[in-house]
Structure 1
Amino acid sequence: MQKFSVDSNGYYGEFGGAFVPEILYKCVNDLENSYLRILESEKFKREFEQLLRDYVGRPSPLYLSQQLSERFGCKIYLKREDLNHTGAHKINNAIGQILIAREMGKTRIIAETGAGQHGVAAATVCALMQMPCTVYMGKTDVERQAVNVKKMEMLGATVVPVTSGNMTLKDATNEAIRDWCSHPEETHYIIGSTIGPHPYPDLVARLQSVISKEIKVQLTEKEGRDYPDYLVACVGGGSNAAGTIYEYLDNDRVKIVLAEAGGKGVDSGYSAATIQLGTIGVLHGCKTLLMQTEDGQITEPYSISAGLDYPGVGPIHANLASQHRAQVLPINDDEALRAAFELTRREGIIPALESAHALAALEKVDFKPGDVVVLTLSGRGDKDLETYFKYENQF
């Protein structure tokens, strides 16, 4: 997987790296020097696989959607990450990282969250491992994801509402990094996406690669071959997308389609379509595509989906887009909402708003009758019900 995977300096092409304040250098360096050794150890593999199976409920099913297949004239499978314990793909990474933190002797966990799913996953694994957990969450997201906030608190985590910026994921990440700077020795920061300084993007992608490893096995059973013609996933920071495509990056037969948040329209000023709108810069420890002004000030992103409301994108995805390995489509709020209600009413599955962006991308691709398509349903829609209730009469 040389061409599109991380190099020894933590770069994907021109994107990535580790840009951290001096106080965090040792933390990041220690993690970089430890993570591959731990991930490849028999002890870690055994415990990680056992927890994924018995605690998370993996493998997650690969479900052939009859109505989507008929509608688009090809075979469309849904990779059902929404059926995991805690309701999304986020738990895969959280379990892996807390095992690493424990192995490294860390005694305290911090996390950032937008949609709340990563926060819930972090709080869940901290309850499981009996470690204290502090989750930073933008005040805007605290209000629109109130149920997840209550869940985190019920699980024993301290949720800190962040009131800077537009009070969403970017601002929560800023505060988490400040906390980490204040308590570097005992704290492990469980980053929820393929962002942050190296080795985080690679670490998170490796932990989430369980998704594409399962897809290979499941497609072999169902289709007699271990690869699809298309992989489709939503991308914000990019962990569910990275996990979906990880095993297929160098397989040219597999086309990659990523859906990012167009908000109210790419040119509306209310968007989070980083790959369409972004330019190269450094944020939260890595060099990637960012929504920013000409003088490098981050512009506020907007999406109806809290999990995609981020002004950057993981360096792995910035590289895939710049190399034209992935086709990236901006999906507007109304397109995502329409796709969500259609899946709900026609298939009996209420998707997360993030996943609904991936579903809406199907409309924009010309599939051939023999195509096999795998779309990752990254999470379930329980956390988005308030938003759905607001719009259900319009769709």
Structure 2
Amino acid sequence: MKSENGFYGQYGGSYIPEILYSSQQQILTTFEEAKNDPSFVAELHKQWQQYSGRPTPLTHCENLTQHLGGAQVYLKREDLNHSGAHKMNNVIGQGLLVKRMGKKRVIAETGAGQHGIATALVASRLGLECTIYMGAKDVARQYPNVFWMRQLGATVIPVKTGSQTLRDALDEALRDWSSSYEDSHYLIGTACGCAPFPEMVTYFQSVIGQEVQRQSLAQFDQLPNRLYACVGGGSNALGLFTPFLEDKEVEMVGVEAAGRGMDMGDHSIRLSHNLGQAGIAQGFASVFLQDDQGQLQETHSIAAGLDYVGVSPIVAHLAETQRVRMTYANDEEVLAACSLLLQKEGIIPALESSHALAVAFKEAADMRPDQHIVINLSGRGDKDIFNVAKAFDDKEFAPFLEEYLQNYHEQDAVQDLSESLSQETHA
């Protein structure tokens, strides 16, 4: 979606320190040149296909469709990308821009860890130094991703200030970029931040919707009646929605995180029911959860990737102009939808994507069998095993972990003793 001087209606823009202006202009110029360069576009599609595994399939959920008794349910399988989420689309694109600019280091922020691990993977592949900021709370609940980031050679810095979540990680990444812009690129993971990041991330993610257009015409001979996507920052939603913006017969539904309830600090609803307020933060104008003094507020979601305090300026504009209908799902509904997909289709969804599933399943039941819906399954649920096991109250999971840790430490002790005895024998 093309901006007007970096703005989408009243949202967007560039509210950054003067010191970052030259770096921002370099990114803007490089991006504009690259997307009009056939060799860059060809390399981008080559890397998407050969490294990430695109195109991802559009899967018809026959069992779910029969169970719900309404519209035909399809999933866009972004969970099958390398690294398990849609994040790879954008990271590959920005990684190629980094090489084009001749920079040697990337900085990233991450919530659920999927952007972090995708960044670490591509940085390793392209020979780039990599630093990733992640809220300390998110580190704890998404540690498997943190483990792999570190194995890939990335430096992962837990952020212990503020709410210790994505908002605070983004603040720290911006501080890093302000002091290292000459040789570092801030590889933003969602369609937020100063221009041209919202447009650039949307451009790279739009491959999702472009594939859905072709696949839906091939598989059921028409465009979908309705599209669903979860909305944290907004990258997976914009990736699905953008190619359909001119297709007025296609309805688009964005799903925010209602968390534990409607009290401030218990949810991450910015756009639904106008709970957020227009403001400027973290380099751009959008809708944020803030108080009357403009102070950003605490958020919550069972899904680490959805508890961001703001939202993409593009999503805010599309919601304001009513091109996208915004709604929400709470933690309980999300877990129920996750369980239903597991049991009916044998597919393990990320908790972020399960927000879109929850609303889509509810609304599909009231649609006709000749109608078709597509849900963006933006990530898979391997990373959520600790949260899901706790939420489902799995009685064997905690004892398993305790036994594993006990054996782990006992094995270390045996190894230490063995090495000590070996040294004494040689002495």
- Normalised TM-score (structure 1): 0.96
One-letter code aligned to 2:6: G
Structure 2 counterpart of 1:183, from 162, 180, 185: 180
In the TM superposition, what whole-angstrom CA distance separates every residue of 1:291-342 from its partner, at most 9, and x where no partner exists? 0000100001111110001010101110111111111111101110110011
One-letter code aligned to 1:291: L
1:289 aligns with 2:278: no
Q: Secondary structure in 2 aligned to 1:233?
A: strand
Distance 2:59 2:229 in 1: 15
1:126 corresponds in structure 2 to 123
In the TM superposition, what whole-angstrom CA distance separates every residue of 1:212-237 from its partner, at most 9, and x where no partner exists? 11111111210123x21101000000
Report the CA distance shift for 1:268/1:312 in structure 2 as closer, same or farther (over 3 A). closer
Distance 2:3 2:106 in 1: 28
One-letter code aligned to 2:97: I
2:423 corresponds in structure 1 to none
Distance 1:299 1:35 in 2: 33
- Asked whether the equivalents of residues 360 and 375 of structure 2 are also in contact (C-alpha less than 8 Å), the reply is no
1:343 corresponds in structure 2 to 341
- Asked whether the equivalents of residues 271 and 302 of structure 1 are also in contact (C-alpha less than 8 Å), the reply is yes
Structure number, greater radius of gyration: 2
Quote how far apart the aligned CAs of 1:268 are: 5.8
Quote how far apart the aligned CAs of 1:180 are: 0.2
One-letter code aligned to 1:307: G
Quote how far apart the aligned CAs of 1:6 are: 3.3
Distance 2:382 2:253 in 1: 25
Quote how far apart the aligned CAs of 1:393 are: 4.1
One-letter code aligned to 1:248: F
- Asked whether the equivalents of residues 10 and 198 of structure 1 are also in contact (C-alpha less than 8 Å), the reply is yes
2:164 corresponds in structure 1 to 167
1:39 corresponds in structure 2 to 35
- Asked whether the equivalents of residues 206 and 242 of structure 2 are also in contact (C-alpha less than 8 Å), the reply is yes
1:358 corresponds in structure 2 to 356
Instruction: Please list every run of 5 or more consecutive structure 2 residues that lacks an aligned counterpart in the other structure.
Output: 395-427
One-letter code aligned to 1:272: S
Q: Secondary structure in 1 aligned to 2:374?
A: strand
- Normalised TM-score (structure 2): 0.89
Distance 1:317 1:176 in 2: 23
1:245 corresponds in structure 2 to 241
Say what the alpha-carbon RMSD is for the aligned residues: 1.2
- Asked whether the equivalents of residues 9 and 317 of structure 2 are also in contact (C-alpha less than 8 Å), the reply is yes
5 Å matches for 1:207-222?
Answer: 207-222=204-219
5 Å matches for 1:1-395?
Answer: 5-70=1-66, 71-225=68-222, 227-267=223-263, 269-276=265-272, 277-365=275-363, 366-393=366-393
One-letter code aligned to 1:88: A
Distance 1:61 1:55 in 2: 16
Is 9-18 or 378-387 further displaced after alignment?
9-18
Quote how far apart the aligned CAs of 1:363 are: 4.1
Distance 2:83 2:208 in 1: 16
Quote how far apart the aligned CAs of 1:43 are: 1.6
Distance 1:8 1:270 in 2: 35
Distance 2:140 2:393 in 1: 22
Q: Secondary structure in 1 aligned to 2:343?
A: helix
In the TM superposition, what whole-angstrom CA distance separates every residue of 1:77-108 from its partner, at most 9, and x where no partner exists? 10000011000000010000010111011111
In the TM superposition, what whole-angstrom CA distance separates every residue of 1:98-142 from its partner, at most 9, and x where no partner exists? 101110111111100000000000000001001100000000001
One-letter code aligned to 1:54: Q
- Asked whether the equivalents of residues 192 and 312 of structure 2 are also in contact (C-alpha less than 8 Å), the reply is yes
In the TM superposition, what whole-angstrom CA distance separates every residue of 1:34-78 from its partner, at most 9, and x where no partner exists? 212112211211111111111101100100001222214111110
Quote how far apart the aligned CAs of 1:283 are: 1.6
Distance 2:162 2:381 in 1: 27
Report the CA distance shift for 1:42/1:6 in structure 2 as closer, same or farther (over 3 A). closer
One-letter code aligned to 1:308: L
Distance 1:270 1:6 in 2: 34
Identity %, equivalent residues: 46
Instruction: Please list every run of 5 or more consecutive structure 1 residues that lacks an aligned counterpart in the other structure.
Output: none
Q: Secondary structure in 2 aligned to 1:156?
A: coil
Q: Secondary structure in 2 aligned to 1:274?
A: coil
- Asked whether the equivalents of residues 73 and 374 of structure 2 are also in contact (C-alpha less than 8 Å), the reply is yes
Aligned pairs, how many?
389
- Asked whether the equivalents of residues 266 and 330 of structure 1 are also in contact (C-alpha less than 8 Å), the reply is no
